[in-house]
């Protein structure tokens, strides 16, 4: 048996999420089915994150165990050929130690949230950004975001379906910047609660629009109550950017 | 009658081109039909460029004449509402003098061609870049491109359907740069022949892949013969970026 680490890029639009679902297509099913056609083996793919329906990935990290020997480069090429026409690409593939786990070994996850902030509707960017027509104040959003950085009980920003045992998480970075017509929100942490990024972005948007004062982010956090929350930002503006692992010798590039 | 200049952004994927076609949807038809629903008037839209099926625009410039009085800002908002769900947006609208003509007053046109140059297939960028898997040498492409800059007979790089009276054109800029996984080709001229940008990019790709020596671009130009040409680059990597006009007082912003 060999363990292969995969780096995946995908357009989340046609999927019901990364994880296998009984009620619709998933990235996991696409990759596992492609692997079955290549190897004849039924494998289970494990991934660093569990992205929702419509969420995209630029650099998801996953792993699979395969009995037959394969050259990693050829396995990636075969997977990319078999994945067509699904919008999933294996951008890197390499052999990792048997105790390397895409989810449990992961010590850092990074997301990007893209808002297209302009009055005219979307054309080329449809399904890939959240369109907000009212002008947003990126600096105010960034200042308010800083009250979320650090170790906190994020109960306010947690889905009712969240399965995490502990709502206390350390948020390493929450940076808001304007990039032309877009506002980018960069979020980094060891791990996130279910819907945490979209919940935080939904509240920051209210600050940016002037609906909420900047201080309300801190009070929403302190409330530890989902009723203190604004609406979640929609999934199609969210990108899983990268997963990081502690030991450089074991880190796939 | 008031003449309105429109700046249009559109995703060319679902269209048979910018110009009205008898055999399928066009950007022109979408805008003219939307205007008819708003004003009750049947107008003809004129545009700076004539983009092919699948070609996109970031800043196409067009004009329409309307009898009823309209505030330009409200006209843009009404158009954007009526254009849904077509992927066309009016990003700017203003009143211009009656002798301002989107096509005939235009003295500069700028295109961008995007190649995604990597082995893995496309996911998020489908329909918006040309995917070239073999490694391309951007510097070699840029050097070869410089032999096309200036005033030349561009017969080699002209569609058989080109209706221009004169194949002599002045190419002001043809710049090739690598931007991460992409190669961007920037082309600027007063005007272009039909398929000229896609023809030039198709040949430069052969240089970048090492199939053609750099010098072959100059000899293809000198041949003035379409048989000296490589394949055209596909339409979906091409973007009409902007049109410029000579008199700042008359230039819509």
For residue A84, list chain B residues with Cβ-Cβ distance below 8 A. 121
Instruction: Determine, yes or no, domain membership for B251.
Output: no
pLDDT tens-digit profile of A13-38? 999 999 998 889 999 999 999 999 99
A61 and A170 housed in the same domain: no
Residues B118 and B99 both lie in one domain: no
In a domain, A77, yes or no: yes
Q: What is the mean pLDDT of chain B?
A: 93
φ and ψ at residue A177, rounded to 5 degrees: -140, 150
Check whether residue A116 and residue A237 sit in a common domain. Answer: yes
- Compute the radius of gyration of chain A from its Cα atoms: 19
Q: Is A89 on the interface with B (CB under 8 A)?
A: yes
Partners of residue A66 on adjacent β-strands: A2
Q: Residue A11 and residue B123: Cβ atoms within 8 Å?
A: yes
User: First-to-last CA distance in chain A?
Assistant: 21
B80 vs chain A: nearest CA distance in angstroms? Answer: 7
Selected residue of A9, A119, A123 to mutate for chain B interface (largest B Cβ count, 10 A)? A123
Name the residue in chain B with its Cα closest to that of A90: B120
Q: Which residues of A touch B119 (CB under 8 A)?
A: 77, 80
Count how many residues are written for chain B.
253
Give the nearest chain B residue to A239 (CA atoms). B124
Q: A180 CB near a chain B CB, below 8 Å?
A: no
Binding positions of A for substrate are 111
- In angstroms, the CA B137 to CA A21 distance is 43
- The answer on A135 and A69 residing in a single domain is no
- CA-nearest of A56, A35, A52, A54 to A44 is A35
Nearest to B123 among A87, A120, A122 (CB): A87
Residue range B36-81, pLDDT digits in tens = 999 999 999 999 998 899 999 999 999 999 999 999 999 999 999 9
Final residue before a domain boundary, out of A57, A86, A105: A105
| pLDDT value, residue B21 | 86
Confidence check: pLDDT of B98 > 70: yes
Say yes or no to pLDDT of B250 above 60: no
Tell me the percentage of chain A whose pLDDT exceeds 70: 97
Q: What is the pLDDT of residue B170?
A: 95
Residue B251 pLDDT class (50, 70, 90 cuts)? low
> Are B123 and A90 a contacting pair at CB < 8 A?
no
Known binder of ligand: residue B245? no
- Is A249 domain-assigned? no
pLDDT of the residue at B97: 94
B38 in the same domain as B93: yes
Helix (H/G/I), strand (E/B), else coil: B139? helix
Residues A233 and A115 placed together within one structural domain of the fold: yes
Q: Into how many domains does chain A fold? A: 2
How does DSSP classify residue B52?
A: B
Contact A123 B88 (CB under 8 A): yes
pLDDT tens-digit map of B25-35: 999 999 999 99
Share of chain A above pLDDT 90, in %: 84
- Position A159 scores a pLDDT of 82
Tokens standing for residue A239? 């990108």
Closest approach of chain B CAs to the CA of A114, in angstroms?
14
Contact A192/A111 with Cβ under 8 angstroms? yes
Residues B60 and B116 in one domain: no
Name every chain A residue with its beta carbon within 8 A of the beta carbon of B90. Answer: 120
| pLDDT for residue A60 is more than 90 | yes
Q: Which residues of A touch B84 (CB under 8 A)?
A: 121
Rounded Cα distance between B21 and B18, Å, is 9
Same domain, A69 and A133: no
Q: Report residue B106's pLDDT band, with 50, 70 and 90 as the boundaries.
A: very high
Q: Which region holds residue B141: left if phi is over 0, alpha if psi is between -120 and 50, else beta?
A: alpha
Are B117 and B56 in the same domain?
Answer: no
User: Is B125 contained in some domain?
Assistant: yes
- Shared domain for B48 and B24, answered yes or no, is yes
CB contact under 8 A, B121 and A80: yes
Q: Is the pLDDT of residue A91 over 90?
A: yes
Is the model more confident about A110 or about A160? A110
The structure tokens listed for B114 are 């995007």
Same domain, A210 and A192: yes
| For range A96-116, the mean pLDDT | 96
Suggest the residue from B123, B125, B131, B238 to mutate for an interface test with chain A (most A CBs closer than 10 A).
B123
Any idea what the CATH number is for the domain that residue A229 is in? 3.30.70.660
Contacts of A9 in chain B (CB under 8 A): 120, 123-124
| Among candidate residues B73, B105, B137, the one where a domain is terminated | B105
Q: Are A124 and B84 within 8 A, CB to CB?
A: no
Packed helices A196-208 and A216-223: angle between N→C axes, nearest 10 degrees: 150
Q: What is the DSSP string of chain A?
A: -EEEEEEEEE--TT-SBSS--SSS--HHHHHHHHHHHHHS-----EES--PBTT-EEEEEEEEEEESS---HHHHHHHHHHHHTTSSEEEEEEEEE-TT--TTTS--EEEEEEEEEESSSPPSTTTTTSEEE-S---HHHHHHHHGGGSEEEE-GGG--TT---S--EEEEEEEEEEEETTEEEEEEEES---TTHHHHHHHHHHHHHTTSS-TTHHHHHHHHT-GGG--PPPPGGGEEEEEEE-S-GGG---
- Between A56, A84, A126, which is nearest B121 by CB? A84
Whether A113 contacts A233, CB under 8 Å: yes
**Is A117 within the bounds of a domain?**
yes
Give the CATH number of the domain where residue B80 resides: 3.30.70.580
pLDDT class of A75 with cuts at 50, 70, 90: very high
Range of A79's domain? 2-105
Distance from CA of A252 to the nearest CA of B (A): 17
- Residue B216 confidence (pLDDT) above 90: yes
d(CA B125, CA B122): 6
The pLDDT score that the predictor gives to residue B161 is 77
Query: If you average pLDDT over residues A222-244, what whole number do you get?
Result: 90
Determine the average pLDDT of the residues in A168-191: 97
Which active-site residues of B does the annotation give? Answer: 52
A180's tokens: 């032309």
Q: How confident is the model at residue B227 (pLDDT cuts 50, 70, 90)?
A: confident
Kindly report, residue by residue over B119-140, the tens digit of the pLDDT: 999 999 999 999 999 999 999 9
Which of A11, A83, A121 lies at the smallest CB-CB distance from B124? A11
Asked if the structure places residue B92 within a domain, the reply is yes
How confident is the model at residue B163, as a pLDDT? 76
Residue that finishes a domain, picked among B83, B105, B127: B105
Check if A241 contacts B (Cβ < 8 Å).
no
What is the separation of C-alpha B97 from the centre of its chain, rounded to a whole number of angstroms?
A: 25
Q: Which pLDDT belongs to residue A248?
A: 57
B91 has a chain A CB within 8 A of its CB: yes
What pLDDT is stored for residue B248 in this prediction? Answer: 57
Average pLDDT over residues A122-127: 96
A100 with A59, same domain: the answer is: yes
Q: Do A80 and B126 touch (CB under 8 A)?
A: no
Please answer whether residues B184 and B213 qualify as being in contact, where contact means their C-beta atoms are separated by less than 8 angstroms: no
Share of chain B above pLDDT 70, in %: 97
Residue B225 maps to a domain: yes
Domain membership flag for residue B191: yes
Q: Is A121 on the interface with B (CB under 8 A)?
A: yes
A88 closest CB neighbour out of B11, B56, B123 = B123
Mean pLDDT score across all residues of chain A: 93
Mean pLDDT of A125-147: 97
Backbone angles phi, psi at B72, to 5 degrees: -60, -40
Confidence of residue B160 (pLDDT cuts 50, 70, 90): confident
Please list every residue in chain A whose beta carbon sits closer than 8 Å to the beta carbon of residue B121.
80, 83-84, 89
**Among the listed ranges A8-12, A191-195, B7-11, B198-202, which one has the minimum average pLDDT value?**
A191-195
């Amino acid at each position: 048996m060999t363990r292969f680490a995969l780096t995946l890029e995908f357009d989340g639009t046609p999927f019901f999420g990364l994880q296998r679902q009984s009620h619709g297509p998933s990235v996991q099913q696409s990759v596992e089915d492609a692997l079955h056609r290549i190897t004849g083996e039924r494998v289970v793919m494990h991934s660093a994150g569990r992205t929702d329906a419509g969420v995209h990935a630029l650099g998801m990290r996953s792993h699979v165990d395969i009995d037959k020997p394969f050259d990693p480069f050829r396995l990636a090429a075969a997977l990319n050929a078999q994945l067509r026409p699904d919008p999933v690409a294996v951008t890197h593939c390499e052999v990792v130690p048997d105790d390397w786990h895409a989810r449990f070994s992961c010590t850092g996850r990074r997301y990007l949230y893209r808002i297209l902030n302009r009055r005219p509707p979307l054309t080329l960017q449809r399904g890939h950004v959240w369109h907000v027509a009212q002008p947003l104040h990126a600096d105010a959003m960034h200042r308010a975001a800083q009250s979320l950085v650090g170790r906190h009980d994020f109960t306010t920003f947690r889905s009712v379906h969240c399965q995490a045992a502990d709502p206390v998480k350390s948020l390493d970075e929450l940076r808001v910047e304007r990039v032309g017509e877009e506002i980018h929100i960069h979020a980094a942490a060891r791990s996130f609660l279910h819907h945490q990024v979209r919940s935080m972005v939904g509240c920051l948007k209210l600050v940016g629009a002037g609906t909420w004062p900047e201080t309300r982010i801190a009070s929403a956090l302190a409330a530890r109550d989902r009723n203190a929350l604004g609406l979640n930002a929609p999934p199609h503006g969210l990108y899983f950017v990268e997963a990081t692992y502690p030991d450089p010798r074991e880190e796939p590039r």
